[in-house]
Amino acid sequence: MKASDLLNIAGEHGAPVYVYDSNTIQSQYKRLTKAFGGVSNLRLNYAAKALSNLSILRLMHSLGSGLDTVSIQEVKLGLMAGFQPESIIYTPNGVSLEEIEEAAALGVQINIDNLSILEQFGSKHPDIPVCIRINPHVMAGGNTNISVGHIDSKFGISIHQIPHLLRIVALTNMNINGIHMHTGSDILDIDVFLYASEILFETAKNFKELEFIDFGSGFKVPYKNGDIETNIEEFGKKLTARFNDFCKEYGRDLTLAFEPGKFLVSQAGYFLAKVNVVKQTTSTVFAGIDSGFNHLIRPMLYGAAHEITNLSNPKGKERYYSVVGYICETDTFGSNRRINEISEGDVLCFRNAGAYCFTMASNYNSRYRPAEVLWHNGQAHLIRQRETFDDILKNQVDPKGLFANKKEQVGVK
């Protein structure tokens, strides 16, 4: 997208606002399918948690994607977006048996990641196909906040519990049709991921009626110029060859599945915010914007470094700024960043704002969540309205008379 397009959107829809470029999403989807073009049966299940707006889900459906969901609400959003139940995989963590049964009743693929629920579900519903999420104890990317394959992770069934798992399957006579793993985000070392894949292949040999093997995702995307990223093309070539060999060993073609989220939508997203104040202290120049970690929490939660540019003054002299928000907490988006000279009223752009940004937004400090806009075929389409004060009050209940005529009790005359 051009800077002028983003400025026009900020002018028309106000700031702060999230903007997504459909062309980038389509390009990333095609890049991933091409990398695994040598696989007979490939299924990409878009990870809805990354960006769950209905319009984005419908775009993914139009590309031929399946859907990876982690809650019953995401399952229902997927169905509303047009996905068939059989193209949705439901991979929750720590939810009740009742929620899993609700998802199963909708006809989606169930993926279970703990022995207790596996035994309960298998005892009650042995005929419903189930995928099993394995923890390979391989830390294939990122820190412990975004790497979920390490030994202390709450996700998945430990490979050391395979004997127990097999006993449950045998006693319940469950139908296991898939094996799954997800080692975490920001994977750079392809060889480490391939090592984890070997563990998954070895586990798969214990099940004779598999239909698919799901390798999760977590591919790293660049967050700034010169940043390193997962070499998808090299990875695709290596895993394709190994997967095809395994299918020959197994005796039939299986489906190779991934659940990309960040890889598909991160680089497609832009977050636009207006500068409220430029504040000089004894050692720092702050650019305070009309947003905070209520809208974009990743820098504070994960230490994520989103590139920040000044759309309003692209040719201005670069100076050092610390970009901060208006929340009554420390909410620093970037410290001492070189940005073209900033004035009050300028519009700043945060790049790589497509994944885990709006979906993690909140109403902290009773602030409104921003609008979302989809840039598609050269036009801006509003896909979520900015919240209003009515939205803040919408689900609050004020029992009439509860505190009426009680001024005396709180010392008010």
Q: Say how far apart CA 347 and CA 134 lie, in whole Å.
A: 45
Burial class, 356, CB count within 10 angstroms (exposed 0-12 / middle 13-18 / buried 19+)? buried
- Helix, strand, or coil here: 200? helix
Residue with tokens 């996700």: 155
- pLDDT at residue 146, rounded to an integer: 39
The residues annotated with a catalytic role in the active site are 328
Among 308, 318, 378, 406, smallest CA distance to 8 is for 378
- Strand ranges inside 281-346, DSSP E: 285-289, 308-310, 318-324, 332-340
- pLDDT at residue 223, rounded to an integer: 82
- Helix, strand, or coil here: 284? coil
Go through 39-69 and write b for each residue having 16 or more CB atoms within 10 A of its CB, e for each that does not.
beebbbbbbbbbbbbebbbebbbebebbbbb
| Domains of the chain, earliest start first | 22-265 (3.20.20.10), 267-388 (2.40.37.10)
- pLDDT at residue 167, rounded to an integer: 97
- pLDDT at residue 139, rounded to an integer: 65
**Residue 118: beta bridge partners?**
none
Per-residue pLDDT of the chain (413 residues; tens, 9 = 90+): 899 999 999 999 999 999 999 999 999 999 999 999 999 999 999 999 999 999 999 999 999 999 999 999 999 999 999 999 999 999 999 999 999 999 999 999 999 999 999 999 999 999 999 999 999 888 655 544 434 444 567 889 999 999 999 999 999 999 999 999 987 666 667 888 889 999 999 999 999 999 999 999 888 888 877 778 888 999 999 999 999 999 999 999 999 999 999 999 999 999 999 999 999 999 999 999 999 999 999 999 988 889 999 999 999 999 999 999 999 998 999 999 999 999 999 999 999 999 999 999 999 999 999 999 999 999 999 999 999 999 999 999 888 778 766 555 555 44
- pLDDT at residue 406, rounded to an integer: 56
- pLDDT at residue 143, rounded to an integer: 45
For residue 49, what are its two tokens? 């948690």
Q: Which helix (H) or strand (E) holds 101?
A: helix 97-105
